[in-house]
Amino acid sequence: MTDAVQYIRDRLLESAAVKTELARSSAERICQASQKAADCLRSDGKIMICGNGGSAADSQHIAAELVVRFNLNRRGLPAMALTTDTSILTAGLNDLGSEHIFRRQVEALGRKGDLLIAISTSGRSPNVIKAAEQAKAQGLDVIGLAGAAEGPMDRIADLVLHVPSDDKARIQESHIVIGHLICDLVEQALFENATRQAE
């Protein structure tokens, strides 16, 4: 029991240290990402989000905060996770291959002025990279969320937010914090007169 408690403390402190370093290194870039998201929505664009596994869950989480609400009572915002339609995903897997399941949706649904948030802990997930490439080809802005290592995402995206860790769990924990900050700042930018939701 004592060992388990110490293990928990160590992991929590490790997670906090990653976020502390993220605050030091990336606060300005997170602000830039939120401004891109707000500008997209202000101009009647939509936000599409994609990722695999835990990053798929993050995609859905962020989309839900934008469509429903984060802190403020306000109108819904157009956002969609490209990870939720099982018919499209399985048809894409069967007919096109796994690398194209997000790219095809961007091709079909993306319009100039939209924004893609591409989430990959490694920054190298082939289907996320192909979605980002398709987005850029169609005139969309791309924000990448990745871990510490640079990769193909840095070549493609307009802005990449790197979490200063190589540990997948620590990266994913920081990605959802970044997602929350973007949602929070978007609401502040677009709905300055809205009221906060009841606690």
Q: What is the pLDDT of residues 134-173, one digit of tens each?
A: 999 999 999 999 999 999 999 999 999 999 999 999 999 9
Q: What is the pLDDT of residues 104-142, one digit of tens each?
A: 999 999 999 999 999 999 999 999 999 999 999 999 999
- Per-residue pLDDT at 199 exceeds 60: no
- Per-residue pLDDT at 190 exceeds 90: yes
Query: Cβ of 183: how many Cβ atoms within 10 Å?
Result: 24
**CA angle 77–196–62, rounded 5-degree value:** 40
pLDDT of residue 119: 98
Assigned CATH topology for domain 2-196: Rossmann fold (3.40.50)
What's the mean pLDDT when you consider all of the chain? 96
